[in-house]
Amino acid sequence: MDGRWDGLRAEVREAVDELVTSGRETGVQVAAYVAGAPIVEEQAGLADSTTGRPLTADTPVHAVSTGKGLTATVVHVLAERGRLDYDLRIAEVWPEFARHGKDDITLRHALTHTAGLPALPADITPADFTDWDRMCGLLADAEPRWAPGERLAYHAWTWGWLVGEVVRRVTGKPVSQVLAEDVAGPLGVTGELFLGVPETDLPRLARLEDAGLAALMTWAGANLPNFDAVAPPHVRPDATTGSRPDVLRADVPAVGTMSARAVARMYAALLGPVDGVRLISPDRLREVSAVAVRAEEWVFGQEATFGLGYAVDADGSFGTAGSGGSLAFAYPELGLTVAAVRNRLGAGDGDPMERLRVLVRDRVGAELGR
Q: CB under 8 Å to 95, separation ≥6 — which residues? A: none
**C-alpha angle with apex 159: 154 to 162, nearest 5 degrees?**
145
Q: H or E element: which one contains 236? A: none
pLDDT band at 237 (very low <50, low <70, confident <90, very high): very high
- pLDDT score, position 2: 79
Contact in structure between 305 and 312 (CB atoms under 8 Å): yes
| Dihedral sign for Cα atoms in the order 245, 55, 200, 66 | positive
- Residue 370's pLDDT is what? 79
- C-beta of residue 317 within 8 angstroms of C-beta of residue 323: no
What are residue 257's DSSP bridge partners?
A: 62, 194
Residue 369 has a pLDDT of: 87
Residues 87-142: pLDDT tens digits? 999 999 999 999 999 999 999 999 999 999 999 999 999 999 999 999 999 999 99
Which of 65, 259, 317, 326 is flagged as catalytic?
65
Give the model's pLDDT for residue 365.
97
Cα gap 266→185, rounded to integer Å: 11
Phi/psi at 148 (nearest 5 deg)? -60, 135
Question: What's the CA gap between 323 and 33, in Å, rounded?
Answer: 24
CB 268 within 8 A of CB 36: yes
Query: What's the CA gap between 103 and 166, in Å, rounded?
Result: 14
Q: Which of 234, 191, 196, 236 is nearest to 213 (CA)?
A: 236
Confidence of residue 3 (pLDDT cuts 50, 70, 90): confident
**pLDDT tens digits, one per residue of 25-74:** 999 999 999 999 999 999 999 999 999 999 999 999 999 999 999 999 99
In whole angstroms, how large is the CA radius of gyration of the chain?
A: 19
Question: pLDDT (tens digit, 9 = 90+) per residue, 161-183?
Answer: 999 999 999 999 999 999 999 99
| Average pLDDT for 355-365 | 98
pLDDT at 264: 98
What's the rounded Cα separation, in Å, for the pair 79 and 253?
A: 18
**Model-wide pTM > 0.85:** yes
The CA distance from 252 to 175, in Å, is 9
Separation CA 348–CA 201 (nearest Å): 31
Q: Would you call 65 a catalytic residue per the annotation? A: yes
Instruction: Specify whether the CB–CB gap between 16 and 43 falls below 8 A.
Output: yes
Q: 10 Å Cβ neighbour count for 234?
A: 16
**What value does the mean pLDDT of the chain take?**
97
**Residue-wise pLDDT tens digits, 248-271:** 999 999 999 999 999 999 999 999
CB-based contact 349:25 (threshold 8 Å): no
Residue 1 has pLDDT above 90, yes or no: no
Question: In the predicted model, is pLDDT for residue 199 greater than 80?
Answer: yes
Sign of the Cα torsion 279, 163, 157, 147 reads positive
Closest CA to 165 of 277, 252, 82, 274: 252
- Nearest Cα neighbor of 12 from 238, 264, 297 is 264
Query: What per-residue confidence (pLDDT) applies to 287?
Result: 97
